[in-house]
Structure 1
Amino acid sequence: MSQQAVDKIEQRFKALAEKTSPAVWGAPKQLIKLSQQIEQTDIYLARRVLQRVRNLQPNNPKIVRELTRLSNEIATKAKLTQTSSSTETSTQLISDKVIKINSDTKADKQQDQSQEETSILSTLAALKDNVVNHSQTKNMNKPWLLFLVIPFVLFAFYQLVWAAPRYESRAQLIIQQPDGMSTMDPSMALLSGLGVGGNSTADTQLAKAYIHSEDMLKFLQSKYNIQQHYHDGGDIFSRLSNNSTIEDLLQYYIEHTAVEIDDKSGVIKLLVQGFTPEFASQLTQAIVDRAEWYVNSIGHQLADAQLEFIRGEHKQIEIRLRDAQKSILAFQQKNNLLDPEAEGAAFQQITYGLESQIATKSAELTGLKSVMTAKAPQVVILESELNALKNQLELERERLSLQRKSSTSAANSSNLSATLSNGTAVSEVLAQFADLKIELELALKGYTSSEISLDKARIEAYRQLKYLVVVESPTFPENNQYPKTLYNILLFLVLQLMLYAIGKIIIATAKELR
């Protein structure tokens, strides 16, 4: 636009300001109405008025849009005016040329005039065709009408009007295990290793895998017939096919059931979509109940299997201990001994006593022989006592180490005779009893260790029990969460523009290479 045209617009603007009251001239809303009134007669002045409104309210997006619209209309009008003016100028030049030729050659060049007129008419026809072709080319250079506007309108119509709403119910869960430290003494706590946390990540991943498993799908299908809901509730693009297989149903179920796990806290967030809020809430509750049953049953099954194995081992050790006790009791009854070791100790004590008496008597006999003759009565008596003690010592030693006949045993004291009535040496009896006692002690130690292992297994089983705790009960949605209309429309528009720009670049590159 020339400076002269700008000055004329400013003059009309100042004249309008003088005619308008100060109250209207300082009110943006009144100026907007005034601009709309004079837009039909003077669009340049209307835009200048809107510029004043923008100065008064620089942050009003409505004013910016109106200014942009008027600027576009002015640019379009100026372009059309320029094209028309160019065409008229070309036509006027050709007409002047025709008049000049007619005036110069009318008298003497009739044949040349006919040829020149034919050339001029051809030029006019070519100019007309050029204008028409320019208009057609301008209309044909608008592929955005086919590739942008129509698909965008159809997609927006689907998102705003046709798309079936989907409601999302939410629930939050966490897997916990009981604290066994408060229910046992410190020694058992150290023995069992309690206090070391388990692998919570594996538990949450296990719960997620079961929620997205075919077992869970079959349970929900038998209880709620989710396949029919997924088919009847959605629109033609979002519904499940009527002849879908179990794999298709599982894939559709997984796409509409999200399981999010917080690695730090271990909280499992369950997001379930449905075409009605009632169904979404019911389905979420069913999934929570079934997952809780699964987690609890897995923990109890592992604990029962471990305890069953430990109880079987403990029962075998208990049988071994009872057999060892029965063997000792039978040995005692067979040999008529309450405690063979005590009996052997008594025999040894007798032997040691006899040896002590023999030593004493030998010393006395030596002393008497030094002052008396060998036939003295005291010496003879002492020698007899000494010989008796030696014979008895030999007998006692044989009882301890040798197998004697029953007749030899019968000649001794009644108690020892009863003890060795079967003709078995005391040392052999002690050896047999020692073997039985060692077996009993080993069985008793094994039983004690088995008792500790059983207690530890109970604690470990109690420790392995896992419980699915509901942090947030399934919600009842009131507003549909999907489809995200504005987001989807904007994303579709961005993708359209990207594809259109890529296409334009490819076409321009092809033309350049051609």
Structure 2
Amino acid sequence: MTKESQRELELRLDEFRRESLAEGDWRRPVRLSMAAGKLKDTDPALALRIYQRVRVLQPDSAVVRKHIKELNALLRRTKPELMRSSSNENTTPEPQGPVEQIQPELSMQERVKTFLKTPLSLAVFLPFVIFAFYQLVWASDMYESQSQLIIQQPSGVSTLDPSMALLSGLTGKSSSPDTELVKTYIHSSDLLAYLENEIKFTAYFSGSDADMFSRLSTDASLEDRLSYYQKRISVEVDDASKVITLKAQAFDPEYAHLLSNTIVQRAEWYINKIGNQLAEAQLQFVKKEHEQVEARLQKAKQDLLIFQREYNLLDPIAEGMALQQITYALEGQIAAKEAELRTLKGSMSENASAVIQTREQLQSLKLQLKQERDRLTRNDGLSLDADSMGVNEIQARFSSLKTELEFALEALSASLVSLEKSRIEAYRQLKYLVIVESPTLPEEAKYPRVLHNLTLFLAVAFMLFGIAKIILATVEELR
């Protein structure tokens, strides 16, 4: 293109800029692209010049480069004179567009400097290089020791006879392990305090050998130390098998193994302690109730023995039945004597010796009957005390004492069953921490995962850069 044609095109571009563009549109690639698209058919040379302006604003736009290439090809076919230099001008080949200026070839160093000044380099690649240096050179290696645990409870069926197992409700089905209790305790400050005393947790992780981003601050507060501890200790629970996976991280494999092994031992102690405390509390309550029942039985026995010694009776009920048999026999003899007396009176006088003898025998029998009946209501024949109780009162008191003894025996039987059942239930509540996989001694550093971290960092950086570009373009478009 001749200089005259280039000046004419620049004048037309300035006129287009003043008349067709609003204030600020010259810096908006979207508005310029829309204007160039409208001029592609009517004025391809001006459209090409506008697209070149858009390429300056958006050097990475593939769409703009495509439009420029299409317009260059169109102008070579339709207006080849615009693509050739005049004869009186420098014979140096013109660039591929009518208004493209020949740029001097840049050296590699200048290209690098130019690239480093771009927003993409400052926002994405420079932070990526710094992060990669940290991951590859500076970051401390982290070893991980793994162990697997599970909490089991005894079924207890094999240790009991069938009737007692049925009574206690044991069916052989164990309850689900209380894994959340173990997980909470492992992440608790109590276990951290134990680790401080046993293996000097804070002193190890605040050592100067580790990088400043990985180690624990020497003046960290309790909350910071607990948060750091929870980051180094991972507890995962499988919902199906209830297996607890414990992962402990440290700067060397020996301490990672020691840390994992210490946590496992302390967790086992904690589970056994909780189970024993619950079982002991339940058994103590039932034992106290059983002791009260035994004391009641002993008192009932003692009262009964004292009563038997006091009245010199083994069984007042049997004694009363014997007295009743005597009174029944006396009544029968009295009836027979009365019949005999009436017979004698019918054939003899009142003063006959046989009548008098029979009458005296009848009176003796009646007197004896009266005495025996008095013995049933008073204890004249059982004790020298005239005011002592009668046989009926003795029987009533004896029955009361015997009933109390029977109730005490039944209560003791029920208490024994309850005690045995409580013992079995307490045994069922005991929990045991079973080690499925012992703490491992790692041989290779698992962290940092360099490739994973770098890939993730680069993806996030590009995503944030793209979001920022979209926001800036939107703001620029709305101005």
Normalising by structure 1, we get a TM-score of 0.68
How many angstroms does 1:212 deviate by?
1.0
Uncovered stretches (5+) of structure 2, i.e. residues with no partner: 1-61, 91-98, 105-109
Contact 1:420 1:426 in 2 (8 A): no
Deviations 1:104-163 (A, max 9, x none): xxxxxxxxxxxxxxxxxxxxxxx899979xx99x97994212112111122122222221
Match of 1:483 in 2: 448
In 1, Cα distance between the equivalents of 2:179 and 2:343?
A: 98
How many angstroms does 1:295 deviate by?
0.9
How many angstroms does 1:287 deviate by?
0.5
How many angstroms does 1:431 deviate by?
1.7
In 2, Cα distance between the equivalents of 1:168 and 1:140?
A: 39
Equivalent residue for 2:294, pick from 297, 301, 318: 318
Equivalent residue for 1:495, pick from 460, 464, 473: 460
Is 1:271 the equivalent of 2:271? no
Deviations 1:28-74 (A, max 9, x none): xxxxxxxxxxxxxxxxxxxxxxxxxxxxxxxxxxxxxxxxxxxx9xx
In 2, Cα distance between the equivalents of 1:419 and 1:199?
A: 70
In 2, Cα distance between the equivalents of 1:219 and 1:448?
A: 47
Equivalent residue for 1:167, pick from 106, 123, 143: 143
Give the RMSD, CA atoms, in angstroms.
Answer: 3.7
SS in structure 2 of the partner of residue 427 of structure 1: helix
Match of 2:189 in 1: 214
Deviations 1:426-478 (A, max 9, x none): 11111222222222222222222222222222222222221111111001111
In 2, Cα distance between the equivalents of 1:191 and 1:483?
A: 58
Is 1:150 the equivalent of 2:126? yes
Is 1:231 the equivalent of 2:206? yes
In 1, Cα distance between the equivalents of 2:271 and 2:459?
A: 45
Contact 1:152 1:492 in 2 (8 A): yes
Contact 1:295 1:467 in 2 (8 A): yes
Match of 1:397 in 2: 373
Equivalent residue for 2:405, pick from 440, 457, 461: 440
Is 1:194 the equivalent of 2:162? no
Contact 1:337 1:419 in 2 (8 A): no
Deviations 1:200-247 (A, max 9, x none): 34x211111111111110111111111122222531222212210111
| Residue identity opposite 1:324 in structure 2 | A
Are residues 141 and 272 of structure 1, via their aligned partners in 2, closer, same or farther at CA, if it must alter by over 3 Å? closer
Contact 1:335 1:419 in 2 (8 A): no
Match of 1:205 in 2: 180
In 1, Cα distance between the equivalents of 2:86 and 2:430?
A: 102
User: After superposition, where does 1:434-473 map in structure 2 within 5 Å?
Assistant: 434-473=399-438
Are residues 284 and 334 of structure 1, via their aligned partners in 2, closer, same or farther at CA, if it must alter by over 3 Å? same
Match of 1:294 in 2: 270
Match of 2:38 in 1: none
Match of 1:42 in 2: none
| Residue identity opposite 1:200 in structure 2 | S
Contact 2:154 2:174 in 1 (8 A): no
In 1, Cα distance between the equivalents of 2:115 and 2:286?
A: 88
In 2, Cα distance between the equivalents of 1:419 and 1:288?
A: 80
In 1, Cα distance between the equivalents of 2:366 and 2:382?
A: 20
Are residues 281 and 92 of structure 1, via their aligned partners in 2, closer, same or farther at CA, if it must alter by over 3 Å? same
Match of 1:424 in 2: 389
SS in structure 2 of the partner of residue 265 of structure 1: coil
Are residues 157 and 384 of structure 1, via their aligned partners in 2, closer, same or farther at CA, if it must alter by over 3 Å? same
Contact 1:173 1:469 in 2 (8 A): yes
In 1, Cα distance between the equivalents of 2:454 and 2:312?
A: 103
In 2, Cα distance between the equivalents of 1:234 and 1:139?
A: 35
In 2, Cα distance between the equivalents of 1:311 and 1:280?
A: 46
In 2, Cα distance between the equivalents of 1:285 and 1:294?
A: 14
Are residues 131 and 90 of structure 1, via their aligned partners in 2, closer, same or farther at CA, if it must alter by over 3 Å? farther
Match of 1:350 in 2: 326
Deviations 1:92-112 (A, max 9, x none): 7578599xxxxxxxxxxxxxx
In 2, Cα distance between the equivalents of 1:437 and 1:361?
A: 42
Deviations 1:312-350 (A, max 9, x none): 222222222222222221111111212222211211221
What is the aligned residue count? 395
SS in structure 1 of the partner of residue 206 of structure 2: helix
Larger deviation, residues 503-512 vs 384-393 = 384-393
SS in structure 1 of the partner of residue 128 of structure 2: helix
| Residue identity opposite 1:295 in structure 2 | I
Contact 1:258 1:270 in 2 (8 A): yes
Equivalent residue for 2:230, pick from 223, 242, 254: 254
| Residue identity opposite 2:466 in structure 1 | A
In 2, Cα distance between the equivalents of 1:140 and 1:187?
A: 85
In 2, Cα distance between the equivalents of 1:151 and 1:140?
A: 12
Equivalent residue for 2:157, pick from 181, 191, 195: 181
Contact 1:335 1:420 in 2 (8 A): no
Are residues 366 and 493 of structure 1, via their aligned partners in 2, closer, same or farther at CA, if it must alter by over 3 Å? farther
In 2, Cα distance between the equivalents of 1:243 and 1:96?
A: 82
Contact 1:336 1:419 in 2 (8 A): no
In 2, Cα distance between the equivalents of 1:260 and 1:365?
A: 109
Contact 1:174 1:470 in 2 (8 A): yes
In 2, Cα distance between the equivalents of 1:420 and 1:263?
A: 82
In 2, Cα distance between the equivalents of 1:421 and 1:338?
A: 21
Uncovered stretches (5+) of structure 1, i.e. residues with no partner: 1-71, 99-126, 404-408, 410-415
| Residue identity opposite 1:433 in structure 2 | F
Match of 1:307 in 2: 283
In 2, Cα distance between the equivalents of 1:438 and 1:285?
A: 63
In 2, Cα distance between the equivalents of 1:216 and 1:425?
A: 76
Are residues 359 and 92 of structure 1, via their aligned partners in 2, closer, same or farther at CA, if it must alter by over 3 Å? same
Deviations 1:253-296 (A, max 9, x none): 11111111122222111111111111111100000111111111
In 2, Cα distance between the equivalents of 1:389 and 1:459?
A: 68
